[in-house]
């Protein structure tokens, strides 16, 4: 329960069921967990509230109770509960916790040290039964570092060198355990079609699929196999029902196939497939393939697809755009990638930003700020790391804006959330104030007093 010296877990909120606690020892072990849940109402008073959903409220008041935002509005209009802890945030900006729409948080610690990495299973290209929640390391030192810049939620995704590397989870970046932090398991499935999935690294190592033809045929076969699998399962259910009705011997249970089983929710359009492509050709090939199987898609990257932005808009699907720091191709102008968000916005495309990183997830707001420099309106840039992301991932009823009833993931900073100079002063996750402490701040403090 206790983790000396790492701190970030021992202050975090979460669900706790005291009913199961019997023995005194067990009770003692759970005591710190009890304190995770927000006990006392918390009030932020005097700040500039960037609600994202309904404009800006100057000199506002925001109340957090029971882990949720219970009220917000102009100072005069909000009743402050008697027992509340009130924090004066005059001159500060208050905004919803930021959502990073693709990270490898919890899957890596030190990039070059392989034993600290659980990023992708490269033994095969079709690996939809890999679940990042099986590897998600809640105690990662990267998570407190990320929170310090106001990021409270993230998609955790496997790396992209397989066409189907596994399934993403949506996490909250604080909680008493991995189980609590994994808000939505298997929330989406990446389908990567950028060319980087070809097994053509060297003459010695190359194997199928070493071309895009190979990648596409392998993907088609996987989805066809999954369709057959689904049909067989349906046939079995019918035969079984008939046998039960006729009181005949039951048919043999079909053998389970985890790979094909994992594909079913996506074939049925119940969950989104995050379709990664960069250039127009890959994009159109991958979209055609997805359409063949009626997949529900979210586009990813589209970094070098400027010639087909109208086509992208016509698909009426959301786009995870970026990273904005991707270098342009040799034939592209220097700002071809920088100005993509503004161009997509002009065409009415709903988009979210992602760091596509772990250690540098903390720089997510600066990517959004950079897009502003190239023409994206500021409020749209903030939306792309809050409400748009929540909507794309289907969690907008809980996250993404400052609205009563939503989870109290709230950030207080001394300026524009998107500016690189801005310092985050408070982070609340489910109403609980998160100490702004990380391995890095501890090193800073240790050597500052030396």
Partner 1 sequence: MRRNTIMLRALPMFFLWLTRAASGQQPPDAAHNEVVIKNAIVMTVTHGNLKNGSVYVKDGRIAAVGESVNAPASATVIDAGGKYLTPGIIDSHSHIALDDDVNEATSPVTPQMMMIDAFDYQDKAIYRALAGGVTTSLLLHGSANMIGGQAIVIKHKYGARRDAMLFPGAPRSIKFASGENPKRVYGSRNELPSTRMGNFAVQRDALVQAQDYMRSWDDYNAKVKRGDKDATAPKHDLKLEALADVLRGKLMVQIHCYRADEFLNEIAMAKEFGYHIRAFHHALEAYKVPEKLAAENIGIATFADWWGYKQEAWDAIPWNAVMSMRKGVRVAIKSDSDDFARRLNQEAAKTMHYGGATEEEALKMITLNAAWIVGVDNKVGSIEVGKDADLVLWDGYPLSSAAVPNKVWIDGDVYFDRSLPGYGMPHYTEGQ
Question: Nearest Cα to 196, choosing from 214, 183, 212, 184?
Answer: 212
Does the footprint of partner 1 cover residue 327 (CB under 8 A)?
yes
Q: How far is the CB of 389 from partner 1 (least distance, A)?
A: 16
Q: How far is the CB of 172 from partner 1 (least distance, A)?
A: 19
How far, CA to CA in Å, does 350 sit from each of 10, 98, 116, 296, 391? Answer: 37, 17, 35, 15, 10
**Exactly one of 55, 334, 348, 449 binds partner 1 (CB under 8 A); which one?**
334
Residues 6+ apart with CB under 8 A from 100: 146, 151, 153, 154, 155, 353, 354, 355, 361, 364, 385, 389
d(CA 105, CA 100): 10
Binding string to partner 1 for residues 358 to 387, with x set by CB under 8 A, is what? xxx-xx-xx-xxx-xxx-------------
Does the footprint of partner 1 cover residue 142 (CB under 8 A)?
yes
Binding string to partner 1 for residues 117 to 136, with x set by CB under 8 A, is what? --xx----------------
Q: How far is the CB of 426 from partner 1 (least distance, A)?
A: 16
Does the footprint of partner 1 cover residue 139 (CB under 8 A)?
no
Question: Nearest Cα to 152, choosing from 356, 448, 433, 439?
Answer: 433
Q: How far is the CB of 331 from partner 1 (least distance, A)?
A: 5
Which residue, 9 or 362, has its beta carbon nearer to partner 1? 362
User: In this structure, what token pair is assigned to residue 369?
Assistant: 């700020």
Which residue, 267 or 372, has its beta carbon nearer to partner 1? 372
Residues 420 and 366: beta-carbon distance below 8 Å: yes
d(CA 133, CA 160): 17
Q: Which residues pair with 429 in a beta bridge?
A: 432
d(CA 209, CA 196): 11
Burial tier of 427 (Cβ tally within 10 Å: 0-12, 13-18, 19+): buried
**Exactly one of 36, 353, 356, 393 binds partner 1 (CB under 8 A); which one?**
356
- Helix and strand numbers, DSSP H then E, in the chain: 12, 16
Q: What are phi and psi of 380, to 5 degrees?
A: -70, -35
Q: How far is the CB of 445 from partner 1 (least distance, A)?
A: 10
Which residue, 398 or 441, has its beta carbon nearer to partner 1? 441
**Exactly one of 70, 93, 152, 160 binds partner 1 (CB under 8 A); which one?**
160
d(CA 170, CA 187): 6
Q: How far is the CB of 175 from partner 1 (least distance, A)?
A: 22
Question: Nearest Cα to 326, choosing from 366, 298, 355?
Answer: 355
Which residue, 32 or 441, has its beta carbon nearer to partner 1? 441
Which 75-104 residues touch partner 1, going by CB under 8 A? 102-104
Does the footprint of partner 1 cover residue 426 (CB under 8 A)?
no
**Exactly one of 307, 331, 348, 449 binds partner 1 (CB under 8 A); which one?**
331
Packing angle, helices 258-267 and 212-246, rounded to 10: 90
Binding string to partner 1 for residues 404 to 423, with x set by CB under 8 A, is what? --------------xxxxxx
Q: Which residues pair with 373 in a beta bridge?
A: none
**Exactly one of 94, 189, 273, 276 binds partner 1 (CB under 8 A); which one?**
276
Which residue, 70 or 160, has its beta carbon nearer to partner 1? 160
Residue owning tokens 């990039």: 111
* Total binding residues toward partner 1, as defined by CB under 8 A: 60
Does the footprint of partner 1 cover residue 311 (CB under 8 A)?
no
Binding segment for partner 1 (CB under 8 A), chosen from 46-54, 156-164, 222-230, 305-313, is 156-164
Which residue, 77 or 111, has its beta carbon nearer to partner 1? 111
DSSP 8-state class, residue 173: S
Residues 148 and 438: beta-carbon distance below 8 Å: yes
Q: Give the number of other Cβ atoms within 10 Å of residue 305's Cβ.
A: 23
Q: How far is the CB of 418 from partner 1 (least distance, A)?
A: 6
Packing angle, helices 280-292 and 212-246, rounded to 10: 10
Which helix or strand (DSSP H or E) is residue 50 part of?
strand 42-50
Q: How far is the CB of 390 from partner 1 (least distance, A)?
A: 20
Does the footprint of partner 1 cover residue 248 (CB under 8 A)?
no
Q: How far is the CB of 335 from partner 1 (least distance, A)?
A: 7
Q: How far is the CB of 94 from partner 1 (least distance, A)?
A: 19
Burial tier of 438 (Cβ tally within 10 Å: 0-12, 13-18, 19+): buried
Contact footprint for partner 1 (CB under 8 A)? 102-104, 107, 109-113, 119-120, 142, 157-160, 165, 190, 194, 196, 276, 301, 323, 325, 327-331, 333-335, 355-360, 362-363, 365-366, 368-370, 372-374, 418-423, 440-441, 443-444, 447-448
């Amino acid at each position: 329960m206790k983790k000396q010296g790492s701190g970030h877990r021992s202050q975090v909120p979460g669900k706790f069921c005291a009913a199961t606690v019997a023995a005194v020892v067990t009770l003692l072990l759970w005591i710190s967990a009890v304190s995770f849940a927000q006990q006392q109402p918390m009030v932020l008073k005097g700040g500039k509230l960037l609600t994202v959903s309904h404009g800006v409220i100057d000199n506002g008041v925001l109340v957090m109770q029971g882990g949720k935002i219970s009220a917000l509005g102009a100072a005069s209009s909000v009743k402050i509960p008697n027992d509340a802890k009130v924090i004066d945030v005059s001159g500060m900006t208050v905004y919803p916790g930021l959502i990073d729409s693709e990270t490898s948080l919890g899957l890596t610690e030190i990039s070059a040290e392989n034993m600290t990495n659980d990023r992708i299973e490269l033994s095969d290209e079709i690996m939809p039964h890999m679940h990042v929640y099986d590897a998600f390391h809640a105690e990662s030192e990267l998570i407190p570092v990320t929170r310090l810049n106001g990021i409270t939620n993230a998609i955790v995704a496997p790396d992209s060198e397989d066409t189907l590397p596994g399934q993403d989870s949506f996490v909250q970046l604080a909680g008493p355990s991995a189980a609590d932090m994994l808000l939505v398991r298997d929330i989406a499935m990446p389908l990567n079609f950028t060319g980087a999935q070809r097994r053509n690294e060297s003459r010695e190592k190359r194997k199928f699929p070493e071309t895009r033809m190979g990648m596409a045929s392998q993907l088609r076969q996987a989805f066809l196999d999954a369709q057959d699998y689904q049909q067989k399962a349906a046939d079995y259910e019918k035969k079984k029902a008939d046998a039960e009705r006729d009181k005949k011997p039951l048919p043999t249970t079909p053998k389970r196939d985890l790979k094909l089983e994992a594909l079913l929710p996506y074939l049925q359009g119940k969950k989104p497939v995050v379709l990664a492509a960069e250039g127009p050709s890959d994009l159109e090939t991958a979209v055609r393939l997805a359409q063949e199987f009626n997949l529900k898609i979210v586009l990813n990257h589209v970094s070098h697809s400027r010639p087909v932005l109208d086509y992208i808009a016509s698909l009426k699907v959301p786009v995870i755009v970026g990273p904005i720091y991707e270098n342009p191709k040799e034939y592209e102008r220097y700002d071809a990638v920088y100005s993509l968000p503004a161009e997509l916005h002009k065409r009415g495309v709903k988009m979210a930003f992602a760091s596509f990183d772990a250690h540098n997830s903390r720089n997510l707001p600066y990517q959004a700020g950079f897009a502003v420099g190239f023409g994206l309106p500021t409020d749209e840039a903030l939306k792309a790391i809050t409400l748009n992301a929540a909507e794309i991932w289907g969690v907008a009823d809980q996250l993404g804006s400052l609205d009563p009833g939503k989870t109290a993931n709230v950030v207080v900073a001394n300026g524009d959330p998107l500016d690189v100079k801005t310092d985050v002063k408070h982070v609340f996750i489910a109403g609980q104030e998160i100490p702004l402490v990380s391995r890095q701040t501890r090193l800073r403090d240790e050597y500052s007093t030396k």
